Amino acid sequence: MPRLLFLTLALAASASAQTTSLRGFVTDAANGQPVLGANVALWAPGAPEALRGAAADGDGFYAVPGLTPGRYVARATAIGYQTRIDTLDVRAGGTTWDVALTPATAELGTVTVQSERTAGSANVEAGFQRIRAEDIAIVPAPDVTGDLANYLVSLPGIVASGDRGGQLFVRGGDPSQNAVFLDGIPVFQPFHVLGFYSAFPADLLQNADVYAGGFDSRYGGVLSSVLDVTARPGNLRRVAASASVAPFVAAASVEGPIVRDRLSVLASARVSTVEALAAQYVSAPLPFSFGDVLGKVYFTPTATSRFSLTGLHTYDRGGIGLASGDRPDEMRYTNSAGGFRYLLLPSQSPLLAEISISYARYDAELGPSAEQAAVRPEVGVRSTSLARFTTDIDLTYLLRGLDLRYGLFLRRTFTSSELDELFQNLVTEREEVLEPGVYAQPTLRVGPLAVSPGFRYTFTEGRLEPRLRATLEVGPHRLSAAAGRYVQPVVGVSDRRDATSVFTAWTVAPEGAVPTADHAILGYRLRPVPWADVSVEGFYKRMTDLSVSEWTAFPRLTTRLQSADGEAYGADLRAEVRRGRAMVLVNYGLAYVTQTITDPRNEVLYGDEVFTFRPAHDRRHQASVVASVPIAGVTASVRWQFGSGLPFSRALGFDVFLPPDGSTDPTGEPGTPRVIYDRPFNAELPTYHRLDLSVDRDFVLRAGTLTVQGGLLNAYDRRNLFAFDVFTLERVDQLPVIPTLGLRFQTRQP
Amino acid sequence: MTRTAALACLVALGALAGCSEDVPAAGGLTESYTLWGALDPTSDTQRLRVVRITPTITSGSSDPLPATVTSTDAATGAVTTWRDSVVTFGDGTIGHVFVAAFRPAFGSVHVVRVTDPERPEVSALVRVPAAIPAPVLLPTTRQQNAPIYTGFWPDAPRLNRARVRYTILSRDCAVHVVEREVRPAESVPVEFGWEVRVPMQTEAPEIVGALPPPSPYALVEIAMTGEVASEDWRPPGGVFDPEVLIDPTVFGNVSGGFGFVGAAYGTALVWQPSPDDLSGTPFRVRFTDC
């Protein structure tokens, strides 16, 4: 590491001898927090056509390299802030310009903003989308604060298991194939058992970067998607607090400076109120209990460094089945994660260095609820654990037209499971894996074209994963593409004979059978006017060495695993219009997902050794419409979601099977109950659709702002299916129509 | 939003609200019953398990089945009506076993029918295998100095459930009986009959591993047993794999239903191994003091 840093600094010093750079941090003047996406533009006086610029990242950091020393006009802009203009003397060896932007009080449409909007539902770039807190706020939710999970399920290509279970399938991938990070710390199951909630309340978010595929070489170890969440730092200027209560969740947060403009702390806690409040007036049982605690310390040791320490703990307990059934009906899990991140900008160098170290642990248990244990004492408990130490060193060297990003990673992962023979042939020979490696992802910019070829290499496994991302942006048009190979050595196995299975056992994949995926994405976005986006994106994903549940007509509560290959392809269409505070989003996703099993037995059963089927999470059509509009002093929001039916194996009938291997006294052999199927996953469950409404209004009081929100979930009381027992025909439905009323109080901000 | 657009949205929502919320119910089968059993030409009592196919999983009912079971001798036309008997099994489930008092002739053909006024008729054509000469033990061969015993069933169309039973004395003169299934590759049709091979090179270690102390052991008797069955009693691929056979369409002979009704009778070939045979195995022929 020291040699690597020395070499980089030497290169940087050499390059900076010829040119110079302008860099610094853009922050919010009211609270000292970074302003993500702020644009800093430079031009020589009298030569505005020679504009150079850069956008601020999640730390508020920007850098404009490759400048000739001299005088420049500098302008900093960001949506929701007043523009700041200054005249600078940029000297050889680098110049720092830190900008504190003042929030604008005018309506958004009247602010003179030249900056590019980098977020938005339709502003997708080869699988990548940036989500901001204000995007989440417009989606009707059962509480005032809003949550990232509630927004994610509106996106095309993301299939949820329902409003319970916390499982998201992204473009045909399994939930265990998604990686989620909070400030660089992995969170293995960030979605609460009640599907509206995650570990990430909207008011703590700075941004959430979603890669539905084609993610670059900074990320690895998963096949399907990445959700990279950054929590905002606590207010660096003054103490602030908020508290809210709603039928599903109560929340409180406090933040403030320990040392003004240098050190802040943020703490947040949420606890479910479902059983205490919502269950009192909703006819359906709501056996959910969950909560989360998040804390962040943010420190600016020097003008050119940043340090943050983040910790998270979540807990969940939820009913996911019937107490009268043979399968365990309750899921319980916890996440505990913590880590720090140190950002350093060596002086007189266009280099950005970052080191992060973290530890994360996930424990889950599937077992009987107290009610089920009383009536079905034979139902057993299954448990699984996953823990990981991670160290990342990231270096970014900024040149004119070239960002050189590369780094080192070291991950050590531990798994353990007690499965009560859930997976009869699962042998966990390896229960830990060490992954040291390197990655590189340079980005070359030539005019409107940006190309980023990269790779990720893991030493111990000898795995090379090539990656490529590219964009071409000309006026209102943007073409984007991504491709790559992805490998997942730590796998989650689930009994996916139906999509509502929520228990995932973690294990290390055997050598020679490590799941691999190849992605290809091509997208086009049109921005005909600054307040509207339309995009279309096609994707293809091929997966090998997946572990899937073995198909059988034995109604077993356990299953065997077998190897399968998978394929997913489709397209997303998105449109977004924002005018002032009004917004309309329309999303549609079309996807085809198949899995293929090659087994000699298939020849007998299906006429061919190779058997291809639709897995339980293959949702062909998805659509959502979200709209938010200010009316008569309130903000009214509506969301309508639609999903075509998921495949399931429809039983044609039931009888008894006696092995016909010879004469058997039929009075002595009871036989085995048998399900008579046609072919696996040959039928579809009912379609899913739901309408959610909400209305909220702010009341400005002397001490702060009181927000009152009223809502109606599942407004026309659609009986959307969550789980269906093929054997008894009993069903568990998703939430019925639920009226909500939430209150939130935030302390006054000058 | 214009009035027309708002009205269109309401109509669309109303249409969607009418989309079915119901899961497609089980059903769609034309088959109505599943039959399991075998006619035995060496027995005066025949038994047949009859299972009524249901739309949900059940543990059975003691109520009489609304079905009549008969069998017809194709040669003579004689019709036998079977009697329903309710059986409660050890696991608490309930089944219906139909019983008839008759002995089907060797080589005869019978049609078993299940008639239910509410369901289509179910039937199975059953061919009873002809009587065959007694099985014989062919000359012993050797493999790596251990014997290979070969039993021959002349004229057997098929031999199912081939097993070998070993009667063994341990050194304390206790008698142990070890029964093992013959590997499918060692039970094969040959010209004019059926052969079963028992290679002691591989069998002996596994037998010894199943025995309690004290060693040594004396192998005093070997019995090969098998069921002579009709030729159609043959699974796909020649192997009885329950994971494959669980699919009701893979193997069966019941029209209008599922399952299999065959015909078979038991046979046995018994001999005492000689000292020369057992050389090369860990067994002795006898203990003089037992």
The domain segmentation of chain A, as residue ranges, is: 2-108, 128-228, 229-747
CATH T-level topology, domain A2-108: Immunoglobulin-like (2.60.40)
Q: Which residues contact A585 (CB under 8 A, 6 or more apart)?
A: A121, A122, A138, A154, A574, A575, A576, A624, A625, A626, A627
Question: What is the distance in angstroms between the Cα of A653 and the nearest Cα belonging to chain B?
Answer: 5
- List of chain B residues whose C-beta atoms are within 8 Å of the C-beta of residue A663: 38, 40, 160-161, 227, 262, 264, 266
Domain range A229-747, CATH architecture: Beta Barrel (2.40)
**For residue A653, which of B27, B119, B24, B202 has the smallest C-alpha distance?**
B27
Return d(Cα A698, Cα A702) in angstroms, integer: 13
- List of chain A residues whose C-beta atoms are within 8 Å of the C-beta of residue B48: 666
- List of chain A residues whose C-beta atoms are within 8 Å of the C-beta of residue B266: 663
| pLDDT class of A114 with cuts at 50, 70, 90 | very low
Across the interface, do A664 and B36 touch by the CB < 8 Å criterion? yes
Domain range A128-228, CATH architecture: Beta Complex (2.170)
Arithmetic mean of pLDDT, A511-529: 92
Query: pLDDT tens-digit profile of B83-102?
Result: 999 999 988 889 999 999 99
Considering only CB atoms, B20 lies closest to which of A651, A657, A686, namely: A686
Across the interface, do B246 and A552 touch by the CB < 8 Å criterion? yes
For the cut 50, the answer to whether the pLDDT of residue A132 exceeds it is yes
Q: What is the pLDDT of residue A505?
A: 86
Q: What does chain B look like in DSSP terms, one character per residue? A: --HHHHHHHHHHHHHHHTS--SPPPS------EEEEEEE-TT-SEEEEEEEE-BSS------SPPS-EEEEEETTT--EEE-EEEEEE-TTS-EEEEEEEE--PPTT-EEEEEEEETTEEEEEEEEEPPPP-PPPEEEEEEEETTEEEEEEEEET-S-EEEEEEEEEEEETT--EEEEEEEPPGGGEEEETTEEEEEEEHHHHHHHHHHTSPSSP-EEEEEEEEEEEEE-TT---GGG---HHHHTSTTTS--EETEEEEEEEEEEEEEEE---HHHHTTSSEES--TT-
Interface with chain B: mutation pick from A424, A560, A604, A728, highest number of B CBs within 10 Å: A604
**For residue B143, which of B200, B208, B183, B58 has the smallest C-alpha distance?**
B200
A79 touches A103 (CB < 8 A): no
Arithmetic mean of pLDDT, A356-373: 92
Supply φ then ψ for residue A321, to 5 degrees: -160, -160
Query: pLDDT tens-digit profile of A213-259?
Result: 999 999 999 999 999 999 999 999 999 999 999 999 999 999 999 99
State CA A582 to chain mean position distance: 25
Arithmetic mean of pLDDT, B45-69: 90
Calculate the average pLDDT of chain A: 87
| pLDDT class of A16 with cuts at 50, 70, 90 | very low
Q: What is the pLDDT of residue A568?
A: 96
Question: What is the distance in angstroms between the Cα of A715 and the nearest Cα belonging to chain B?
Answer: 11
Considering only CB atoms, A659 lies closest to which of B22, B31, B242, namely: B242
- Which pTM does this prediction carry? 0.86
Across the interface, do B40 and A674 touch by the CB < 8 Å criterion? no
| pLDDT class of A424 with cuts at 50, 70, 90 | low
Supply φ then ψ for residue A495, to 5 degrees: -85, 90
Structure token digits, residue A78: 């960001």
For the cut 70, the answer to whether the pLDDT of residue A497 exceeds it is no
Query: pLDDT tens-digit profile of A634-693?
Result: 999 999 999 999 998 888 889 999 999 887 788 888 998 888 887 788 889 999 999 999
Question: What is the distance in angstroms between the Cα of B236 and the nearest Cα belonging to chain A?
Answer: 7
Considering only CB atoms, B13 lies closest to which of A553, A655, A691, namely: A691
Which amino acid, residue A15? A
Q: What is the pLDDT of residue A109?
A: 42
B134 touches B113 (CB < 8 A): no
* C-alpha triplet A170, A175, A176: angle, nearest 5°: 130
The DSSP letter of residue A234 is P
Residue A139: C-alpha distances to residues A150, A308, A382 (Å) = 7, 30, 36
Question: What is the distance in angstroms between the Cα of A533 and the nearest Cα belonging to chain B?
Answer: 20
- Least confident interval from A245-249, A501-505, A515-519, A694-698: A501-505
- List of chain A residues whose C-beta atoms are within 8 Å of the C-beta of residue B42: none
- Least confident interval from A81-95, A366-380, B84-98: A366-380
Q: What is the pLDDT of residue B3?
A: 62
| Element spanning A133, H or E | helix A133-137
Question: What is the distance in angstroms between the Cα of A726 and the nearest Cα belonging to chain B?
Answer: 8
A201 touches A208 (CB < 8 A): no
**A2-108 and A229-747 share one CATH topology?**
no
Considering only CB atoms, A666 lies closest to which of B49, B57, B227, namely: B49
Q: What does A39-69 look like in DSSP terms, one character per residue? A: EEEEEETTEEEEEEEEE--TTSEEEEEEEPS
Query: pLDDT tens-digit profile of A158-178?
Result: 888 777 777 889 998 889 999
Across the interface, do A671 and B23 touch by the CB < 8 Å criterion? no
Residue A22: C-alpha distances to residues A61, A73, A350, B209, B247 (Å) = 11, 12, 9, 81, 72
Return d(Cα B67, Cα B83) in angstroms, integer: 10
